[in-house]
């Protein structure tokens, strides 16, 4: 009996041992063939040769010896001229922008491949450098690539640097490790504030005559330039002519239908620092302000009273705050009491308003109606008005002092012929922009103007692109061609202070 029991127990033990052997064999066999458990091979990080030293330093700081990956990851990088469609495992790591000297008239680089842009001989021959977008500011001039300007396009015109992580377990393993370091914000259409500043507008005299000749449709004058200017988030002009039914071919007064010219360019801000807004009387000036208000056009540098005229214009859009100030320091037109007119310049007021704006964290733009330079004696190109200080007084000293007070951008809005410009201190000065709309067609210098295309991002002035306009006997303002603009910019730069 005992013998039978022993045999039974022995059989059970044998079965258990056999099962255990099979289980252990299967267990370790599975680990061996699946490379798990004691046979597990940790994931390996493979770095492509395309990664640069800075990127490798960042990646090595993430994938340290303590990081235990389950699957291999292969990391690659590339440069492209077009913003790539975003993949789930790819990050836009950096944008490199082509820049040149602030005073250069160069605007564009033509290339066939992205590799050309990194060739040192090509850079030298084309006078540009590539810098990170984070280093771009108004003191460097951003160039377009193949005619594409990044701050207008956002998906081309620069060099895009992307990094790609290829792993079977990207979402589970890699993304939690790298997302914080590689998800970055870059400028986009909904975060970059665009602001077009234009010069003198005086829809008057022979323009009144021309309006009747074209059937009374005031949008005629803006047919060519309207689509360009209205595309900006904010469009400004300095209008020196009030609306009245008494407008004629001989006075600086505007037919009331000319409001359609201004709405056709998408006007958002009208400056009233000019010395002709009272030419048609106080009532016309008051009525004109009402017309602007009815059309949702904000006013700066002028008003129905002196107190109203001195109010700063505060703008807050797309993460950028701007305070705009505008003063009359000229031959007339200022209001000193309860009558309409321009904002008279007072040093103490300007200093206080600039100080208050900077305390709010705003960028400050100061516009000045200064003394005019008149060199209209002939039909040839007369460059005398190109210079600052070509009019009465110390224009250079006056404008520079506003920068010293804290202004970021100072603009002369009285010049009927565009003037030079300069970087000064911590800001930039444009001494005169010329005529956007007027009837001065007999002198080449008065038919052209500069438009300041400002681009603001996160409270910073990234760029001001100079755009040229021109009108002829038809009085239709158009964009100036690139070659003429380059010649003109070179001419203005030659006489900078």
Please, is 131 exposed, middle or buried when counting C-beta atoms within 10 Å of its C-beta (0-12, 13-18, 19+)?
middle
Residue where a domain stops, chosen among 182, 213, 240: 182
CA 367/CA 381 separation, integer angstroms: 27
Q: Looking at the structure, do residues 448 and 355 belong to the same domain, yes or no? A: yes
Q: Looking at the structure, do residues 136 and 216 belong to the same domain, yes or no? A: no
Q: What is residue 384's predicted lDDT score, i.e. its pLDDT?
A: 92
- Whether 57 maps to a domain, the answer reads yes
Residue where a domain stops, chosen among 164, 182, 200: 182
412 in Cβ contact with 395 (< 8 Å): yes
Q: Looking at the structure, do residues 174 and 198 belong to the same domain, yes or no? A: no
CA 79/CA 132 separation, integer angstroms: 13
Residue-wise pLDDT tens for the chain (497 aa)? 555 555 565 665 666 565 666 554 554 454 444 445 554 578 999 999 999 999 999 999 999 999 999 999 999 999 999 999 889 999 999 999 999 999 999 999 999 999 999 999 999 999 999 999 999 999 999 999 999 999 999 999 999 999 999 999 999 999 999 999 999 999 999 999 999 999 999 999 999 999 999 999 999 999 999 999 999 999 999 999 999 999 999 999 999 999 999 999 999 999 999 999 999 999 999 999 999 999 999 999 999 999 999 999 999 999 999 999 999 998 789 999 999 999 999 999 999 999 999 999 999 999 999 999 888 777 888 899 999 998 888 999 999 999 999 999 999 999 999 999 999 999 999 999 999 999 999 999 999 999 999 999 999 999 999 999 999 999 999 999 999 999 999 999 999 99
Nearest to 469 by CA among 221, 242, 292: 221
Strands (E), 179-319: 192-201, 234-239, 269-271, 298-300, 302-303, 313-317
Q: Is 378 left (phi over 0), alpha (psi -120 to 50) or beta?
A: beta
Looking at residue 220, what DSSP letter applies?
A: G
Nearest to 475 by CA among 105, 230, 121, 222: 222
In sequence order, what are the residues at sequence separation of 6 or more whose Cβ sits closer than 8 angstroms to the Cβ of residue 300?
Answer: 269, 270, 271, 272, 311, 312, 313, 324, 325, 326, 367
List beta partners, residue 334: 342
Q: Looking at the structure, do residues 196 and 163 belong to the same domain, yes or no? A: no
Average pLDDT, rounded, for the chain = 93
Q: Looking at the structure, do residues 286 and 176 belong to the same domain, yes or no? A: no
Q: Looking at the structure, do residues 270 and 156 belong to the same domain, yes or no? A: no
Q: How many residues does the chain have?
A: 497
Residue 391, both tokens: 């009019």
In sequence order, what are the residues at sequence separation of 6 or more whose Cβ sits closer than 8 angstroms to the Cβ of residue 79?
Answer: 96, 114, 118, 159, 160, 161
Q: How many angstroms separate the Cα of 419 from the Cα of each of 138, 413, 416, 447?
A: 19, 10, 9, 13
CA 495/CA 386 separation, integer angstroms: 7
- Whether 32 maps to a domain, the answer reads no
Strands (E), 219-283: 234-239, 269-271
Buried b (16+ CB within 10 A) or exposed e, 13-40: eeeeeeeeeeeeeeeeeeeeeeeeeeee
- Whether 221 maps to a domain, the answer reads yes
CA 439/CA 485 separation, integer angstroms: 21
Q: Looking at the structure, do residues 147 and 200 belong to the same domain, yes or no? A: no
pTM of the model: 0.91
Q: Looking at the structure, do residues 160 and 230 belong to the same domain, yes or no? A: no
CA 382/CA 377 separation, integer angstroms: 9
Q: What is residue 19's predicted lDDT score, i.e. its pLDDT?
A: 61
Q: Looking at the structure, do residues 339 and 362 belong to the same domain, yes or no? A: yes
Q: Looking at the structure, do residues 313 and 395 belong to the same domain, yes or no? A: yes
CATH, residue 458: 3.60.21.10
- Whether 4 maps to a domain, the answer reads no
Nearest to 214 by CA among 477, 478, 479, 474: 474
Range of the domain at 248: 192-493
Q: What is residue 28's predicted lDDT score, i.e. its pLDDT?
A: 47
CA 328/CA 243 separation, integer angstroms: 20
Residue 363, both tokens: 């960028």
CA 178 to chain CA centroid, nearest Å: 30
Nearest to 199 by CA among 15, 497, 448, 495: 448
Q: Looking at the structure, do residues 385 and 267 belong to the same domain, yes or no? A: yes
- Whether 16 maps to a domain, the answer reads no
Q: What is residue 235's predicted lDDT score, i.e. its pLDDT?
A: 99
Looking at residue 460, what DSSP letter applies?
A: E
- Whether 54 maps to a domain, the answer reads yes
340: helix, strand or coil: coil
Residue where a domain stops, chosen among 152, 182, 212: 182
Q: Looking at the structure, do residues 173 and 245 belong to the same domain, yes or no? A: no
H-state helical runs in 394-453 = 395-404, 444-447
Rounded to 10°, the helix 53-62/175-182 angle is: 140
Q: How many angstroms separate the Cα of 305 from the Cα of each of 273, 299, 326, 329, 331?
A: 13, 13, 15, 17, 19
Provide the domain count of the chain.
2
The angle formed by the CA atoms of residues 282, 288 and 290, to the nearest 5 degrees, is 110
- Whether 367 maps to a domain, the answer reads yes
Alpha-carbon Rg of the chain, whole angstroms? 33
């Amino acid at each position: 009996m005992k013998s039978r029991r022993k045999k039974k127990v022995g059989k059970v033990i044998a079965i258990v041992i056999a099962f255990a052997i099979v289980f252990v064999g299967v267990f370790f066999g599975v680990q061996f063939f699946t490379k798990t458990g004691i046979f597990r091979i940790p994931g390996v990080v493979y770095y492509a040769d395309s990664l640069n030293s800075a990127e490798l330093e960042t990646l090595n700081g993430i994938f340290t010896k303590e990081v235990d990956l389950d699957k291999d990851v292969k990391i690659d990088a590339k440069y492209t001229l077009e913003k790539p469609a975003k993949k789930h495992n790819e990050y836009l790591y950096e944008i490199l922008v082509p820049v040149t000297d602030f005073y250069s008239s160069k605007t564009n680089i033509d290339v066939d491949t992205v590799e050309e842009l990194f060739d040192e001989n090509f850079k030298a021959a084309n006078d540009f450098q590539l810098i990170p977008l984070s280093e771009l500011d108004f003191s460097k001039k951003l160039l377009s690539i193949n005619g594409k300007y990044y701050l207008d396009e956002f998906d081309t015109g620069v060099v895009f640097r992307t990094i790609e992580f290829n792993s079977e377990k990207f979402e589970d393993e890699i993304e939690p490790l790298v997302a914080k370091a590689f998800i970055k914000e870059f400028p986009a259409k909904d975060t970059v504030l665009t602001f077009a500043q234009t010069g003198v507008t005086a829809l008057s005299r022979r323009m009144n005559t021309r309006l009747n000749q074209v059937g009374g449709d005031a949008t005629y004058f803006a047919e060519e330039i309207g689509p360009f200017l209205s595309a900006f988030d904010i469009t400004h002009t300095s209008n020196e002519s009030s609306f009245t039914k008494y407008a004629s071919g001989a006075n600086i007064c505007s037919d009331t239908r000319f409001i359609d010219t201004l709405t056709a360019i998408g006007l958002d801000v009208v400056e009233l620092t000019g010395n002709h807004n009272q030419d048609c009387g106080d009532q016309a000036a008051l009525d004109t302000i009402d017309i602007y208000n009815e059309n949702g056009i904000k006013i700066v540098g002028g008003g129905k009273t002196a107190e109203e005229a001195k109010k700063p214009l505060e703008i807050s859009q797309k993460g950028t705050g701007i305070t705009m100030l505008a003063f009359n320091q000229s031959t007339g037109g200022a209001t000193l009491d309860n009558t309409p007119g321009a904002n008279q310049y007072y040093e103490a007021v300007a200093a206080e308003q600039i100080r208050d704006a900077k305390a709010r964290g705003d960028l400050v733009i100061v516009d000045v109606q200064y003394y005019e330079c008149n060199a209209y004696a002939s039909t040839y190109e007369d460059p005398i008005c190109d210079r600052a200080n070509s009019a009465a007084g110390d224009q250079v000293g006056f404008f520079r002092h506003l920068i010293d007070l804290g202004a970021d951008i100072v603009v002369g809005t009285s010049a009927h012929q565009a003037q030079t410009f300069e970087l000064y201190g911590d800001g930039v000065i444009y001494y005169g922009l010329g005529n956007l709309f007027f009837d001065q067609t007999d002198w080449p210098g008065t038919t052209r103007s500069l438009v300041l295309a400002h681009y603001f991002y996160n409270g910073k002035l990234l760029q001001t692109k100079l755009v040229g306009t021109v009108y002829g006997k038809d009085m239709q303002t158009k964009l100036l061609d690139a070659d003429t603009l380059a010649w003109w910019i070179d001419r203005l730069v030659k006489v900078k202070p």
